[in-house]
Amino acid sequence: MGITAAVVSAFAASAAAVFAAANLILSGRREHTKWAREALIEIVASYIDLSFDSTDVVKRALRDSAPRSWPPASDAAVRADAKESERQMRRLQSRLRLLAGPEVIDAAQRLRLAVRTHHTLLDVEHAVAIDRDIEMRREIWYLRQVFIDRAKEALALPRSWRKAPRTLPSVAALSGQAAPERTVP
């Protein structure tokens, strides 16, 4: 009976060691996944905030300026702020490439390029800039929503809608016209 008890005891100790090792490996993977998910959420939130900040810079400059003082000087603070926001978006996009799939990265790229195109309003006539601003911000709003949906898919979060929200940019409310509905592809 002494040998049987020793064998059973050795087997139990070996099984406990194997289970402990498996638990360490699995908990390490869970922690890594948790960290990657939290980092991705932080990057996505910052990217969205920067897209709002960048378009707000141009929107405010248009709203606060007079046609005779437009376009802003090449060394104006509005240009520097717009470039800085876009540069920070590009930096976050590099971090995004490490953590997200191609669909998220492509949506982020389209959003950043639309924001950069919005900055070109700083170089055109005031009346033209105001006319284009409304449509460009609608497009950015749509691309922002596509980016959010792709990020939610990557994070396995529920998407609360299949269509872009009805709360489009404030211009739609100001102009009194309904913005066109677009479905997310």
Count of residues making up the chain: 185
Whether 73 contacts 85, CB under 8 Å: no
Q: What is the pLDDT of residues 159-171, one digit of tens each?
A: 555 555 555 555 4
pLDDT at 22 over 70: no
Q: What is the pLDDT of residue 1?
A: 56
- Provide the percentage of residues in the chain whose pLDDT is more than 70: 76
Can you tell me the distance from the alpha carbon of 90 to that of 113, in angstroms, rounded to the nearest whole number?
10
Q: What is the pLDDT of residue 173?
A: 44
Can you tell me the distance from the alpha carbon of 114 to that of 140, in angstroms, rounded to the nearest whole number?
6
b or e along 148-179 (b: 16 or more beta carbons within 10 Å of the residue's beta carbon)?
A: bbbbeebeeeeeeeeebeeebbebbeeeeeeb
Q: How confident is the model at residue 76 (pLDDT cuts 50, 70, 90)?
A: confident
Can you tell me the distance from the alpha carbon of 136 to that of 55, in angstroms, rounded to the nearest whole number?
9
Mean pLDDT (whole number) for 70-82: 82
From first CA to last CA, the distance across the chain in angstroms is 71
Question: Which domains, ranges and CATH numbers included, belong to the chain?
Answer: 40-175 (1.20.120)
pLDDT at 104 over 80: yes
DSSP helix/strand/coil, 65: coil
Residue type, 156: A
Mean pLDDT (whole number) for 123-146: 91
